[in-house]
Amino acid sequence: MKKYKVNKTYLEINEKIKSGEVVVVTAEEIIDIVKKEGSVEAARRVDIVTTGTFSPMCSSGAFINFGHSVPTIRASEVWLNKVPAYAGVAAVDCYIGATELCEDDPLNKVYPGEFNYGGGHVIQDLVAGKNVHLKATSYGTSCYPNRMIEKEISLRTLPSATLCNPRNGYQNYNCAVNLTNKTIYTYMGTLKPKAGNANYSSAGELSPLLNDPYYKTIGLGTRIFLGGGIGYVTWHGTQHKPSVKRTKKGVPLTPAGTLWVMGDLKKMSSKWLVGVSIQGYGCSLAVGLGIPIPILNEEIVQYAAVSDEEIFTQIVDYGHDYPNGISKSYGQVSYAELKSGHIEFKGEKIPTVPLSSMVMAREIAETLKKWILQGKFMLGEPQFTLLR
Amino acid sequence: MYSKILILRFPETEVEKPIVCYLVKDYDLTFNILNATILPRKEGIMVLELSGSRKNFREGVQYLKSQGVHVKNASQEIRRDNKKCTHCGACTAVCPTGALSIQRPEMLVVFDQKKCSVCELCVSACPPRAMEAKPTSKIFFE
């Protein structure tokens, strides 16, 4: 006897995409469908659930091959618009990381620093089609005698440019407060003293990994929406930690899984890769990411139907605890509470501040849905799913 | 009642004349001096809020200019570049007046300029730098 009442394969769903019969809904829409029709009926009717998230995602960057010059150079150090890129890859290859800062940035010398330009901004400028100034230096070899080059590069003329993000799409994230007496400026935004506000950063019920908490459909080869183009999940991300505490429905209560993603930068857009400046902290890149979840059976649709009321995170003090490596929770809150605008904390109502854009997340899920319905986007069947 | 914050620059030759008090005497305007200093080369700078009827205000400014005083508008307003805003919500942590708020359930960040006190806290708190402080009516003085 089969384990599930509904059993679909990637191949069958892709056939439906080709024939135009596929049924696609977003991770928000599936909630009510499962509530009304039950998981078996929903799994029968719906083939794919689309998810989306848009937020600053450090651990993003791009591999850039900038082509050979005459005389040739074996670049030892590379700068793009004065932002250093890692050049120890090959003669004319480099990696520009999202959090790398412009070389003459005043940093936090006048606190809190503004951090107006960094690696994330270089990536956004490139995808926006702007010219970027490249400088490379070297020591000179027989085969690569040149010691310094400067040139304007643009995405169109680069031999290759690949977005390669070692950690994106965090499955859940902390809710940050500040229990000290001074305002602090963190990667979780501005935190007023004495828990004046609580900041959080997850798309909740739309977030990719929260809709497939045990990674039953996501792994190497999963085709995704990445930065406005098409990308792939290539590995589990760095800091991937599936072993955390979870609710009965499998939703992690603390930051858990992560994704390593890649895609052709040339096909991406500056709307979905946005360089960001985080006051007092540094630069990063806001990445638009969306994953289609194939509804292979009723269990998977049950997971995808998770709602903000069923997703919880921990309140963490970024004033004292976090910088001292103290792992302590000051309470558990649901994303429904966080999104309401206020949470109850130590008997008081404190305002909540999102850092992850629901407006953009929704647009990603809708775009992915449209691509699939138009037959432009086929599911990628993973070679193996993420570590769990 | 019309009111604006102005930056006045007095050339070295005019610095010792009692120019500003004529704004009260002849033009029925009131002022509040916010800052005044004389620079090393004896050029004077004064920041003042000037108030009165629109007509008197215009004539008063004309008078200042006729006395060789350089007049610049210091009034600013905050504008949002809607193309840059990603509706993340980070600005709502710092906005003290609720001019930046979240419309629920859409989670859209709305900017109500009427509630804005031009404190400029949002300018550097906005990750994609969508908020800008800009002079209100530059053309009027140029």
Which tens digits make up the pLDDT trace of A265-321? 999 999 999 999 999 999 999 999 999 999 999 999 999 999 999 999 999 999 999
Is residue A22 domain-shared with residue A114, that is, in the same domain? no
Is residue A50 domain-shared with residue A68, that is, in the same domain? no
What is the distance between the alpha carbons of residues B70 and B9, in angstroms, rounded to a whole number? 5
Say whether pLDDT at B141 is over 70. no
pLDDT at res. B142: 45
Is residue A179 domain-shared with residue A271, that is, in the same domain? yes
Is residue A74 domain-shared with residue A207, that is, in the same domain? no
Q: Looking at beta carbons, which residues of chain B come within 8 Å of A189?
A: 90, 93, 125
Tell me the pLDDT tens digit for each residue of A371-384. 999 999 999 999 99
pLDDT at res. A31: 98
Is residue A122 domain-shared with residue A184, that is, in the same domain? no
What does chain B come to in residues?
142
Is residue A120 domain-shared with residue A154, that is, in the same domain? yes
Say whether pLDDT at B137 is over 70. no
Q: For residue A194, give the nearest of A209, A206, A178, A207 by alpha carbon.
A: A178
What domains appear along chain B, each with residue ranges and CATH number?
2-73 (3.30.70.260), 77-135 (3.30.70.20)
Cβ of B87 within 8 Å of Cβ of A277? The answer is no
pTM exceeding 0.80: yes
In a domain, residue A200? The reply is: yes
Cβ of B104 within 8 Å of Cβ of A276? The answer is no
Q: Looking at beta carbons, which residues of chain A come within 8 Å of B132?
A: none
Is residue A154 domain-shared with residue A174, that is, in the same domain? no
Higher pLDDT, A126 or B119: A126
Is residue A156 domain-shared with residue A235, that is, in the same domain? no
Question: Given CB atoms, is A199 within the 8 Å cutoff of chain B?
Answer: yes
CA dihedral B10, B13, B18, B24 (to 10 degrees): -40
Is residue A90 domain-shared with residue A237, that is, in the same domain? no
Do A352 and A343 touch, CB atoms closer than 8 A?
yes
Is residue A348 domain-shared with residue A234, that is, in the same domain? yes
Chain A: give the shortest CA distance to residue B99, in Å. 14
Chain B: give the shortest CA distance to residue A357, in Å. 4
- Scanning every residue of chain A, which has its alpha carbon at the shortest distance from the alpha carbon of B98? A351
Q: Output the 3-class SS for B36-96.
A: EEECCCCCEEEEEEEEECHHHHHHHHHHHHHCCCEEEECCEEEEECCCCCCCCCHHHHCCC
- Picking from A116, A192, A358, the nearest residue to B107 by CB comes out as A358
Long-range contacts of A70-73 (CB under 8 A, 24+ apart): A71/A144, A71/A145, A71/A146, A72/A143, A72/A144, A72/A145, A72/A146, A73/A136, A73/A138, A73/A144, A73/A146, A73/A147, A73/A148, A73/A149
**Mean pLDDT calculated for residue range B4-10:** 88
State which of A134, A160, A186 marks the end of a domain: A160
- Interface A-B: count of C-beta contacts within 8 A: 72
Question: Given CB atoms, is B93 within the 8 Å cutoff of chain A?
Answer: yes
In a domain, residue A368? The reply is: yes
Say whether pLDDT at B131 is over 60. yes
- Scanning every residue of chain B, which has its alpha carbon at the shortest distance from the alpha carbon of A56? B127
The secondary element (H helix, E strand) that includes residue A365 is helix A358-373
In a domain, residue A385? The reply is: no
Say whether pLDDT at A72 is over 80. yes
In a domain, residue A4? The reply is: no
What is the distance between the alpha carbons of residues B98 and A285, in angstroms, rounded to a whole number? 27
State which of A160, A178, A204 marks the end of a domain: A160
What is the distance between the alpha carbons of residues A275 and A98, in angstroms, rounded to a whole number? 8
Do A193 and A280 touch, CB atoms closer than 8 A?
no
Do A288 and A225 touch, CB atoms closer than 8 A?
yes
The count of domains in chain A is 2
pLDDT at res. B138: 55
Is residue A352 domain-shared with residue A326, that is, in the same domain? yes
pLDDT at res. A1: 58
DSSP state letters, A71-93: S-B--SEEEETTEEEEEEEETTE
Chain A: give the shortest CA distance to residue B108, in Å. 6
Q: For residue A165, give the nearest of A230, A212, A234 by alpha carbon.
A: A234
Burial of A2 (0-12, 13-18, 19+ CB in 10 A): exposed
Q: Looking at beta carbons, which residues of chain B come within 8 Å of A355?
A: 88-90
Do A99 and A119 touch, CB atoms closer than 8 A?
yes
- Picking from B90, B94, B129, the nearest residue to A355 by CB comes out as B90
In a domain, residue A38? The reply is: yes
Tell me the pLDDT tens digit for each residue of A211-253. 999 999 999 999 999 999 999 999 999 999 999 999 999 999 9
The pair of three-digit structure tokens given for residue B89, joined into one six-digit string: 């919500």
What is the distance between the alpha carbons of residues A128 and A122, in angstroms, rounded to a whole number? 10
Q: For residue A277, give the nearest of B129, B89, B80 by alpha carbon.
A: B129
> Which residue range(s) make up the domain with A256?
10-57+164-373
In a domain, residue A322? The reply is: yes
What is the distance between the alpha carbons of residues B66 and A163, in angstroms, rounded to a whole number? 60
What is the distance between the alpha carbons of residues A271 and A287, in angstroms, rounded to a whole number? 9
Chain B: give the shortest CA distance to residue A197, in Å. 7
Cβ of A355 within 8 Å of Cβ of B86? The answer is no
Question: Given CB atoms, is B82 within the 8 Å cutoff of chain A?
Answer: no
The pair of three-digit structure tokens given for residue A136, joined into one six-digit string: 């490379």
Cβ atoms within 10 A of the Cβ of A150, count? Answer: 11
Cβ of A276 within 8 Å of Cβ of B108? The answer is no
Tell me the pLDDT tens digit for each residue of B55-94. 999 999 999 999 999 998 877 889 999 999 999 999 999 9
Cβ of B127 within 8 Å of Cβ of A192? The answer is no
In a domain, residue A46? The reply is: yes
State which of A130, A160, A190 marks the end of a domain: A160
Is residue A111 domain-shared with residue A245, that is, in the same domain? no
Do A258 and A291 touch, CB atoms closer than 8 A?
no
In a domain, residue A324? The reply is: yes
Do B108 and A359 touch, CB atoms closer than 8 A?
yes
